[in-house]
Amino acid sequence: MKKQKEVSERKLLGISGLGWMFDAMDVGLLAFIIAALQVDWNLTGKEMGWIGSINSIGMAVGALVFGLMADRIGRKNVFIITLLLFSIGSGVSAFATSLTVFLILRFLIGAGLGGELPVASTLVSESVPAEKRGRVVVLLESFWAAGWLVAALIAYFVIPDYGWRAALLISAVPGLYALYLRMNLPDSPRYMRVKDQDRPTVWQSIASLWTKEHAKKTTMLWILWFCVVFSYYGMFLWLPSVMVMKGFSLIQSFQYVLIMTLAQLPGYFTAAWLIERAGRKFVLVVYLIGTALSAYFFGNADTLALLITAGIFLSFFNLGAWGALYAYSPEQYPTKIRGTGAGMAASFGRVGGILGPLLVPYLMAANVSISVIFAIFCGAILIGAAAVFFLGEETKQTELA
């Protein structure tokens, strides 16, 4: 019986993880496509910033709407709907002929992506034992690094010779995989045990987040999500472009970002190892501080060796923190409002994802240096770490309500 259970958990992780990998591939490709679109469409820095921000606007809407839906129609159904939405959007966007059309499609893609991520982590959290829950969710998040690696490889080998449209067509493959998910993915057993008449309405779910029981947790999560997403999208969507600004060619920048991206995997795996030993709060605080220091040194790097080293540590710590964030968020709420709680925290965080990519070109237009811009991201990450340290409660190996 135990062996069968382990196989089931591995199957759940593999099916959910592949969907997560395709999500990451799309986001990762966007960072490289923005740099390629600047050349093809003669985009200004502010127009480039809007591509990243419209994606985050879609993610904010998607996380809110689909998080609420997950508590009403189930985790599995929302997982499939969101996967199809961003997959179809990615394929169609390969044929965009103007920035306006591309932005509309990026909004739809972002909505699918923003809804899928918190729902997938909620589904996995509710389907594995307490003693494994944190590790399995962080391992789920590690598929994000695999997706970024695939994106970096596509950018390096496909975009220079075949263009960004071919890269987007490749990213549409998850649409076919969604059909496989529909047939093979079980829904959350905890969700299935909640009777229809016991499920709160949408407004009851939202109001529950701010009751005395949950208000402190909600405040902590919203601050944490905002700071992490603001800094992540502000830094990582601009990495290839920042490399170009520092004097490297487009192909060189893709190559160096690929090297930095490789560090994401050990970041996840060490976080997965530590999260059930040292706890969620320890991993989040330590990895966020490591991210902040790495961001500072990346922004101030004046040699190639320091730039790549800081970039490697930035990827290592930041993505390890992301893994812990997705493990920690669903654990804050009971099953009846878990999708709503995780989704709304992610949605509020995506506001940071709107502001981060926009902030960079506007500050550069005002002749603010890269070092100062990255110092701003460094400060935001430290605020997120402080929120966890002072407001967060440890949830290691606690049973979900």
Question: Of all helices (H) and strands (E), which one includes residue 54?
Answer: helix 45-73
Residue with tokens 């935001």: 380
| 300-312 pLDDT tens trace | 887 888 888 998 9
CA–CA distances in Å: residue 81 to residues 69, 78, 111, 163: 11, 5, 11, 29
The CATH number, out of the four listed (1.20.1250.20, 2.60.120.260, 3.40.50.720, 3.30.70.1400), of the domain defined by the range 2-182+208-391:
1.20.1250.20
The confidence score (pLDDT) of residue 224 equals 97
Whether residue 394 is predicted with pLDDT greater than 80 in this model: the reply is yes
Residue in 329, 357, 262, 275 with CA at minimum distance from that of residue 51: 357
Q: Are 379 and 352 in contact (CB under 8 A)?
A: no
Task: Give the model's confidence band at 7: pLDDT under 50 very low, under 70 low, under 90 confident, else very high.
Answer: very low
| 165-177 pLDDT tens trace | 998 888 877 666 7
The confidence score (pLDDT) of residue 251 equals 65
Q: In the numeric block, which tokens belong to residue 254?
A: 């893709």
Cα–Cα dist 20/135, whole Å? 16
Q: 275-280 contacts: CB < 8 A, separation 24 or more?
A: 275/134, 275/135, 275/138, 275/323, 275/324, 275/327, 275/396, 276/131, 276/132, 276/134, 276/135, 276/396, 276/397, 279/394, 279/396, 280/134, 280/324, 280/327, 280/328, 280/331, 280/392, 280/394, 280/395, 280/396
Q: Are 142 and 265 in contact (CB under 8 A)?
A: yes
Whether residue 182 is predicted with pLDDT greater than 80 in this model: the reply is no
CA–CA distances in Å: residue 223 to residues 207, 228, 229, 283: 18, 9, 10, 17
Whether residue 181 is predicted with pLDDT greater than 70 in this model: the reply is no
Q: Are 272 and 135 in contact (CB under 8 A)?
A: yes
**What single-letter DSSP state applies at residue 302?**
-
Q: Are 56 and 182 in contact (CB under 8 A)?
A: no
Residues of the chain with pLDDT > 90: what percent?
33
Classify the phi-psi angles of 163: left when phi > 0, otherwise alpha if psi is within -120 to 50, otherwise beta.
left
| 244-254 pLDDT tens trace | 777 776 667 77
pLDDT higher at 300 or 207: 207
* Least confident among 23-32, 105-114, 180-189, 314-323: 180-189
Task: Give the model's confidence band at 4: pLDDT under 50 very low, under 70 low, under 90 confident, else very high.
Answer: very low
pLDDT higher at 377 or 173: 377
pLDDT higher at 122 or 7: 122
Q: What average pLDDT does range 51-71 have in this prediction? A: 88
Q: What average pLDDT does range 125-135 have in this prediction? A: 87
The confidence score (pLDDT) of residue 123 equals 87
Task: Give the model's confidence band at 5: pLDDT under 50 very low, under 70 low, under 90 confident, else very high.
Answer: very low
Whether residue 6 is predicted with pLDDT greater than 60 in this model: the reply is no
Whether residue 356 is predicted with pLDDT greater than 90 in this model: the reply is no
| 63-72 pLDDT tens trace | 999 999 999 8
- Three-state DSSP state, 147: helix
CB atoms within 10 A of CB 206: 16
Cα–Cα dist 343/67, whole Å? 4
**What single-letter DSSP state applies at residue 211?**
S
Following DSSP, what letter does each residue of 323-349 receive, concatenated? HHHHHHSGGGS-HHHHHHHHHHHHHHH
The confidence score (pLDDT) of residue 179 equals 65
Q: In the numeric block, which tokens belong to residue 202?
A: 């949408």
Task: Give the model's confidence band at 2: pLDDT under 50 very low, under 70 low, under 90 confident, else very high.
Answer: very low
The confidence score (pLDDT) of residue 252 equals 72
Q: What average pLDDT does range 313-330 have in this prediction? A: 92
Task: Name the average pLDDT for the chain.
Answer: 86
pLDDT higher at 306 or 357: 306
